[in-house]
Amino acid sequence: MSNTSFMYDLSAGNCVGVGHPDLFIEVEFEKEARCVCKNCPVVDECLITGVVGRHEGVWGGMWLNRVFSHTLRAKRSRKAFRERQSSIAAKLGMTLTQYLAAYGEGVKGLERAAEALKHLPA
Ligand code: SF4
């Protein structure tokens, strides 16, 4: 179930004030948008916000609709998704193996991890 009330503050994102309105929405600009996301300080939070909110387009450096498809580009997305899972696991004080055992693979696992992140002390 989507929990659209769960949103992070992304105002520190690299994309703030950058590019044109369609940059993170239209697939033709995907590569350009993902470049803006590189080294973004809120990349994990952005991905969680996009996934939990069922948003489309580039969130957290990935085109969300392609995360689990079977194209070559999706393999790159799956690698990026694994990197985000590792980073989120570290925030939860876990290894990636522990994260996967606790929350599982894929978007559902990320949603479960997002719930756990909400309860971490600030
Ligand atoms: S990860 Fe990308 S889309 Fe998300 S806040 Fe950062 S720059 Fe913006």
- Tens digit of pLDDT for each residue in 64-90? 876 655 455 667 778 888 999 999 999
In a domain, 35, yes or no: yes
Instruction: Give the integer Cα–Cα distance in Å for 120 and 27.
Output: 35
Q: Which atom of ligand 1 is nearest to the CA of 43?
A: 1
In a domain, 21, yes or no: no
Distance 36 CA to ligand 1 centre (A): 7
Determine phi and psi for 102, rounding to 5 degrees: -80, -40
- Classify burial at 46, counting beta carbons within 10 Å of its beta carbon; exposed 0-12, middle 13-18, buried 19 or more: buried
In a domain, 17, yes or no: no
In a domain, 50, yes or no: yes
Q: Is 40 in the pocket of ligand 1 (CB under 6 A)?
A: yes
The pTM score is 0.85
Domain count, the chain: 1
Chain segment 20-46, per-residue pLDDT in tens: 889 999 989 999 999 999 999 999 999
Residue 107 CB contacts under 8 Å (≥ 6 apart), including other chains: 51, 67, 68
